Structures are given as C-alpha cells and as structure tokens.
Amino acid sequence: MKTKLSDIIIGCMNWGVWGKNYSTQEMTDLIHFCIEEGNTTFDHADIYGGYTTEAEFGEAFVKSGVEREQIQLISKCGIQYITETRTKNRVKHYNYSKEYIIWSVEESLKNLKTDYLDVLLLHRPSPLMEPDEIAEAILQLQAEGKILDFGVSNFNASQMELLADKITLNYNQLEFSLIQNSAIDHGTLDYLLKNDMKVMSWSPLGGFFNLEGEQAERVREVLQILSKKYDATHDQLLLAWILKHPSNVIPVIGTSNKNRIQTSNLARKIDLDLQDWFILYEASRGHKVA
C-alpha cells in the first residue's frame, strides 16, 4: 500500500541557502500555513543547501509543535557534491552502496528530527548501480521502520526495470511539464502507469515565467485565451495540463509564496477540455500531433 501524500507537494529545496534562506521562525510559520492549506507533504533531498536545509527544516519542525503523523516527509539520497561538508568528494558523483544509502537515510532522519521517512527516493540513476545491493539497503531500512515507502527520481523505464526486479518501486519523481514533456515520448509515463507507480513532477511549470523564445510565445498566446475561458491564472492552467494526464501526476511546487501555494491548490479544480489539452500540447511542441 502506497503512502498517502498530499495532492500537491511542497518542495523545500529553496527554503534554505539555495533560495530564500528563511529563519527558523519563518520556516515554522510556513509549515503551519502549508498544513492549513492541505499541503502536508514536504519534499527534501540530503543535498539541498549543500547538505544543510534538512537540518534547518528539522529545527523549524520541532519548534512548530506539529505532530509527526500530520505530515509526510520525502527525501532523496545518492548525489555527492563537492562541498565544505563533504571534503572527501573530488568530483560530483553518485553513491548507492548499501553502507552509504543506510548512512545517508540515518543522517536525514537526524537532521529532520524524525524517526522515519514516509518516502525515500534515489535521486538520480548511476551507471554503477548494483540492484541487489540497493535492494538489501532498502529492505533493511524498511524492516527497521526508518522508511515507509521507496521509489526513484529521474529514472527512465529501463533503469526502473533494472531495480524493479529486486525491490518494489512505488514512485518516480521526474521533470514533467507542458514545457518539458519528453517523459511522454520516452515511455516513462507509460511505464509508471502500467506498473501502478505514482508520479511526482518537479518543475511542474517548466520555468515558463522565465522562458523566452518561440515556444514561450506560442504557449503564452494560448494561455491568454484559455485563462479567460477557465477564469484561471497561467500557472493554474500549466498545472491543470499535467494533472489531466492519466498517470495521476502529483506536482512538487517549488514556490514558498503563500499566495502562489493557494493559487496552485485551486488548479486541482480545473478539468481541461480534451481539445484544449491538445491545443496547449501543440503550442509547446510547435507542430500538430502525428
């Protein structure tokens, strides 16, 4: 049984030094706000903030007084950066040894001030992955109650298949938006749908509001028309586009702006007309479907 996550997940990558650099009190207030809005799932990775943001969130979580059962915590492991906290790293790389996976999860638990992660994801595929070794680590962590559920991030179909022979995968967090929709062509979404895996979409707006060029102009022109038809903002329509996909995508929104969080939540109420979905799809790609 998959862990129940909120319909829209709050991405915490920019809460720390990689973005807003919020104080403990500001993070505490934001945690309360998100919960009140129904966004109870918080997405982390060990590397965020150069391996610092999880600990800052953990301090805010303790200060919030929120019961652990009220929220769901996602974290990811595997990417090794060159930072002051990882002095032995000489190059960016991936580490999926059994020892490292277990150590990394235990570090995340300590930093987030929790006894368990609701979901652990392998952050990016490594060409040196050993499926048996990964499975051993995950099964041990699950048996010890340190992770409740498991999945991957940024894996394609063949990479998921490699692991799925050894361990149950329930999630893939990947880049998917109207602007970046290659997961459709590559068969990744088909694989996830076929195997009843949940899809999380990072960058669900595709960086649209900072985008320039012909694609942006085509999409913007359609959004101007549809925003009047649906009485919706452009970001709501962009979210509604991915929400219509039958794989039941869960957007991971990177904004920490309270108004934008509320606006994003309203996108769930928009049911795009079939042809409107394809009009946006065509605008993004610059040509009709075959």
Q: Catalytic site residues?
A: 48
CA–CA dist 230, 209 (Å, integer) = 20
Q: Which amino acid is at 70?
A: Q
Phi, psi of 51 (to 5 degrees): 70, 35
Give the N- to C-terminal CA distance of the chain in Å, as an integer.
38
- Which residues, including other chains, have CB under 8 Å from residue 87's CB and lie 6 or more apart? none
Q: How far, rounded to the nearest angstrom, does the alpha carbon of residue 257 sit from its chain's CA centroid?
A: 17
* 8 A C-beta contact, residue 124 and residue 79: yes
**Helices first, then strands: H and E counts in the chain:** 12, 10
Going by C-alpha positions, the residue among 115, 100, 110 that lies closest to residue 57 is 110
Which residue in 73, 94, 103, 98 sits closest to 3, CA to CA? 73
